[in-house]
A and B are shown apart, each in its own frame.
Chain A
Amino acid sequence: QVRLQESGPGLVKPSQTLSLTCSVSGGSIDSRAYYWTWIRQHAGKGLEWLGYIYKSGTTYYNPSLESRITISIDKSANHFSLTLTSMTGADTAVYFCARGVGACSSSNCGGSWFDSWGQGTQVIVSS
């Protein structure tokens, strides 16, 4: 059974860059049609999809973050990463990594539902 685990700093200063890593165990990040995903949750709010990456390296980002976000994949280390620049208090949230199952709708082919998640890591933006 695949397991995902987020790691990274819990505290980031305003204007700095956040870097998080999601380590995948129990399965290869290079296998099958999965989309390796980052999702966050602001305190007391719903979930926000940030973006995902396919094993080929193709990325898809939420337009609300597109100028600040980068998702990368390291197949040799079996992990993928999130970089978010110019952090502000609005980026304070719990960040989850997840595995998106590849499927197609009538409009799009990509990660469709998320069948495995990490437990999440709290990131606070504060000076």
Chain B
Amino acid sequence: DIQMTQSPSSLSASLGDRVTFSCQASQDISNYLNWYQHKPGEAPKLLIYDASQLETGVPSRFSGSGSGTIFTLTISSLQPEDIATYYCQHYLDLPLTFGGGTKVDI
């Protein structure tokens, strides 16, 4: 199975900050990498697919980059509604696996 490792596991930032966190795959997954936002008690939300493609309706302050084994998700200006846990997920092959998440708070 491909292991997905996210760092940091949590971070604290201020409103308006540029926030970046990482996801590392245990092997080359090309650009087969997705990002989700999850708030407690809510359905997870797809933010980015194929490493850098913004899902329809997602604010442009979210961006994704990377390929191979190292990927990043950036929030250009942190907003109160961005407080959540963020997960990466690969789809190179089965089983699909997720990272452990990065929890973002203020």
Q: Which residues of A contact B (CB under 8 A)?
A: 4, 45-49, 60, 62-64, 96, 98, 101, 103, 105-108, 110-120
Contact = CB atoms under 8 A, between A and B. Distances in A.
A47 B49 contact: no
B42 A119 contact: yes
Interface in B40-60: 41-46, 49-50, 55
4 closest A-B pairs by CB: A117-B43, A47-B98, A49-B96, A113-B49
A84 to B, nearest CB: 16
Contact of A114 (B46, B50, B95): B46
B20 to A, nearest CB: 20
Given A49-B98, A108-B93, A115-B55, 8 more contacts: A46-B101, A49-B89, A96-B44, A101-B49, A110-B91, A112-B32, A113-B34, A117-B44
Contacts of A63: 95
A112 B48 CA distance: 12
Q: Interface range on chain B: under 10, 10 to 19, 20 to 34, or 35 or more?
A: 20 to 34
B interface, by DSSP: helix, strand, loop or mixed? loop
Contacts of A64: 95
B74 interface: no
Interface of B: 30, 32, 34, 36, 41-46, 49-50, 55, 87, 89, 91-101
Contacts of A106: 30, 32, 92
Nearest to B42: A119
B87 A112 contact: no
Nearest to B28: A106
B41 to A, nearest CB: 7
Nearest to A46: B100
A49 B95 contact: yes
